[in-house]
Structure 1
């Protein structure tokens, strides 16, 4: 190889080395800012995770730099000219700068999503017209992340320029072109292998699930991964695939995808469902009486008081990670797995839900959300479910109450809700709150009266709790109030203060509350058994006296039949299921972990020990549930 090509290859290797170096720097900063969420026991364990992360970095870097590599080694006689090298410089930093910013954005985003960035963010973002405001607000709230990003880019440019290519012309064009073609073939082979993740003969490239091979705790997989990899690997992917692990008889016996309740109801009750933005269990005292958290502070005094007159579930979990996941779980009993159902190619199908059940029973059904119509994808999914009415910011029609970023403030919108529902009975109305959403603001008039807490979200939680109190004060005056069943739950969790809620499963811990002023529904007491969002739909179907079969992976929480539970959610990398006395993690093919049900941190994997009969059956149930979910979603059998 002539010297001219050698200096270009050395420069190329050096420039790619810089990308690897700064990806590891981004990983270190990601962990630094999120170390309370991702437990690493020692420096050596961190370096081990960072080492395994190199394979995922390689894929992301080679994806991003494939064109740059090609431009760098093409056998052109102008390669060493200053103008061409300047072109390479700008191409290199524009492409890598955009990709690198994903890792820094995830430093902030991870605290809310509890997962690395995936292409599902595009589905969420396409429904919003306020992304610019959200972005700049995030910069203002987390200036040090942005400062670190700028510092690293400046250092990166400085180091890039330390290795220069001297302008030269080939003296022997035959040798130049032959050596260039050889180099091109070798580098192309290495690039393809690097993009796949290894050079072994394999049926598939590495994906997000492979990060779990190298960790002792599932949350550490987010440290092995990088945001560019997780985003690119999930573009145009479809992990919805038919599988066959167990017999149909096993599914009917152990999974029981259809439920039938025979509750006789004289007068159909009205139903009001509150899906509270980010209203994690951690914030409510009524749901933490037995958690033994030292110096616990509640931020929901009204919900705590209402809980004393309600049926509450203190060990309940969300079935998804985003707001739209909460909507599908609560209303339709459809959880979100690694890939969310609501952003899949299968979401637009006929779905049995509490909405369709109520429609069938002659209810007037409506959905309320104070954001611009279409935000979060709620209106579109609401239409699929069959809501007869949708009320958003457009229908509210008073921008004086707009928070400036997301939606109408909760207090006035809750009042609008209280006064607008019930004009036709029986009715089922769902309200999705908004004010406890990032950027965690409260109305200016409450700045001096609502006390903040250690976390940014605490003041908005207090504000929304107050809005809920004012709603009930108004609702009590309405003629429909006494024959109404109220449900209060959260869409997902958010910021974490107490170590108890840093545990892997507790990051999905939410409140579930059923209340009615009518004593005949007997909605009182504290239930510590496991529950989840997808249980709400069958519970309400039971309460309102729907006596036909319903398609449900959840169970009625008031049936008294001691139905077996399968609690399901996903950390975006693999599925997590609580069955009986154990928690199972599942990658779509194999059960990768078995943990005692009290080990909510998933710290002690029992899978390598001799399996008990219960654990063997649990593994079959995991696979059977997953098989049934895929079959019903893909073959459009959700009705």
Structure 2
């Protein structure tokens, strides 16, 4: 019998050339990952041209060098040890294992972000691990990821096989000295040189004035903020945000008096007592980007962009709606504090930040003191994303998760109870509550892996992306909820607030901007028609709590980083955090504050694609002052645990 054996011819070379060669191989692999990241997400970056992509690739090299030095620091040190035993077979095998293992992690994160980017619209950072620690059911989700996106582990496997082959292609050839100690002595200055070069590589330059590169340095190589994710690589973003504190005190303004004159989050109502005892129902819809709501996008012509929310559209016509509304964060875990406690997700989600134990005021806690029964409903397994823990801290008296629902036959297997049955459960549980009550429900079904209950498969159109059919299903579930709720005695005396937790990739070019990546619906509905109309002013999730409290004539001071949307004199704004920068919307303009300095201004109405940076041609001093005052108030109050009004 003939035996075939694939052999790899190994070439010997100077050990320092071998190290340089292996590092160069990694650089090529990271560039390949960057190309794949772009190719799989081309629709998200419509303004990238061939010329600008070359600039992006060039800029990415700086981030790759930094990340690879971090990942391979131990390997390089062990490789450069100036002792002859390192050329032994066992030592070389150990080095190869260390090299392949460490770099497989980096490559895996880079490739995973090819898909994950579509959900969070940025590179993964260290906060992902904190979020995952608060979640349950991660094993099922990971297994589903491998099933749906099988090509990602397949590409990783191919790259690792190729990496192993290329690693072994060139092996270090030992120097020959008559006396071994000469080799040891000669290796010391080499280690010193490599350490110096590594420091330069990690910092991103050799000049004394060069600061260690950060994620926002990617902005120097792009034409639009969202393109920074192509320049970056995921291991770099994770390492640069590891252990990062979210709330570093600021001193834009030296006196509290000056600061409070420009902006204060302390709301002091005019009323002396609740004149309304309406029930309040807040509905947070998973992944309901504004792009999916037809009535908020009358300009769409493509039939694929028809509305996937026919019921919500009908409700919008009977509600007070804010078509110019935005989320304060990127993830579900960002939304709950923003909506229920008026705490925006700046730098890190509040729930996983170092200040998550701060005393806060939430709408649940404030209204409970006024005699309201309060409850939070989320059909996911109890413990999912730490919602049950946060809602307890926030003052919700009861939490209804999968355990309380009590029927796992309606569990979708990954995220939670299907929206239709859970919304029915939600309606009937409220019927058992004593009025007035405040409840919040968070839907789960409009999410990857884009499954529907068996009886609805094939019923709803997919449109541009598979998520569309899930949006349509949740809208249908919402309609069924309102059909049931209208028959219950508490319905007419209830204020409904409907919004989304965050946006996702809609595959609609108009929404591929750093501003519209946060675009969501916000509407207020009252059955008697007393709240009806269109308000085109800015709105954000953190406005929801102060608006509800104003509507109820809540009488006591409280802290909220949002506006009362019923107050026409309020200075409307929307703030969120993007690529190491504060993104601040005020009037027609959007400002970006990076490292405490203003680095961009765009007119989002005249320049919706944000291609013309007006910095240097327009000042907007009032907007700059307001942005800095909000950031200082937020950071300092968080750092000093001053998020409630002192009595």
Q: After TM superposition, is the score higher than 0.5?
A: yes
Comparing 58-67 with 134-143, greater Cα deviation is found at 134-143
Whole-Å separation in 1 of the counterparts to 2:175 and 2:82: 13
Q: In structure 2, do the counterparts of structure 1 residues 357 and 600 end up closer, same or farther at CA, with 3 Å as the change threshold?
A: farther
Matched, 1:134 2:141: yes
Per the alignment, residue 635 of structure 2 pairs with 630
Q: In structure 2, do the counterparts of structure 1 residues 40 and 517 end up closer, same or farther at CA, with 3 Å as the change threshold?
A: closer
Per the alignment, residue 210 of structure 1 pairs with 217
Whole-Å separation in 2 of the counterparts to 1:350 and 1:239: 17
Whole-Å separation in 2 of the counterparts to 1:389 and 1:339: 27
Matched, 1:516 2:521: no
Alignment of 1:43-82 (within 5 A): 43-82=50-89
Post-superposition offset of 1:588: 3.8
Post-superposition offset of 1:564: 0.7
Whole-Å separation in 2 of the counterparts to 1:369 and 1:339: 23
Matched, 1:409 2:418: yes
Whole-Å separation in 2 of the counterparts to 1:352 and 1:319: 18
Whole-Å separation in 1 of the counterparts to 2:214 and 2:384: 30
List per-residue Cα deviations over 1:572-620 (Å, max 9, x = no partner): 42110012332101114101101113134322100032x34xx122222
Q: Quick check: 1:287–1:314 contact (8 Å CA) kept in 2?
A: yes
Per the alignment, residue 337 of structure 2 pairs with 328
Post-superposition offset of 1:204: 4.8
Comparing 508-517 with 51-60, greater Cα deviation is found at 51-60
Per the alignment, residue 7 of structure 2 pairs with none
Whole-Å separation in 1 of the counterparts to 2:55 and 2:366: 52
Residue from 427, 450, 471 that aligns with 2:437 = 427
Residue from 17, 21, 26 that aligns with 2:24 = 17
Matched, 1:565 2:572: yes
Matched, 1:589 2:596: yes
Scaled by the length of structure 2, the TM-score of the pair is 0.94
Whole-Å separation in 1 of the counterparts to 2:217 and 2:247: 18
Post-superposition offset of 1:266: 4.0
Per the alignment, residue 511 of structure 2 pairs with 501
Residue from 320, 329, 336 that aligns with 1:311 = 320
Residue from 459, 467, 474 that aligns with 1:464 = 474
Scaled by the length of structure 1, the TM-score of the pair is 0.95
Whole-Å separation in 1 of the counterparts to 2:210 and 2:20: 29
Residue from 40, 49, 59 that aligns with 1:42 = 49
Alignment of 1:378-417 (within 5 A): 378-417=387-426
Q: Quick check: 1:313–1:529 contact (8 Å CA) kept in 2?
A: yes
Alignment of 1:80-479 (within 5 A): 80-166=87-173, 170-202=177-209, 204-246=211-253, 247-262=255-270, 266-289=275-298, 291-295=299-303, 296-422=305-431, 423-479=433-489
Q: Quick check: 1:273–1:431 contact (8 Å CA) kept in 2?
A: yes
Alignment of 1:474-553 (within 5 A): 474-519=484-529, 522-553=530-561
Post-superposition offset of 1:105: 0.5
Whole-Å separation in 1 of the counterparts to 2:560 and 2:443: 25
Whole-Å separation in 1 of the counterparts to 2:221 and 2:257: 36
Q: Quick check: 1:271–1:485 contact (8 Å CA) kept in 2?
A: yes
Per the alignment, residue 6 of structure 2 pairs with none
Q: Quick check: 2:14–2:174 contact (8 Å CA) kept in 1?
A: no
Whole-Å separation in 1 of the counterparts to 2:609 and 2:245: 29
Whole-Å separation in 2 of the counterparts to 1:153 and 1:6: 23
Secondary structure of the residue aligned to 2:36 is: helix
Secondary structure of the residue aligned to 1:607 is: coil
Whole-Å separation in 1 of the counterparts to 2:124 and 2:492: 45
Post-superposition offset of 1:349: 1.4
Gaps (5+ residues) in structure 1?
Answer: none
Post-superposition offset of 1:40: 4.5
- Report the number of matched residues: 629
Gaps (5+ residues) in structure 2?
Answer: 1-10
Secondary structure of the residue aligned to 1:529 is: coil
Secondary structure of the residue aligned to 1:586 is: strand
Post-superposition offset of 1:29: 0.7
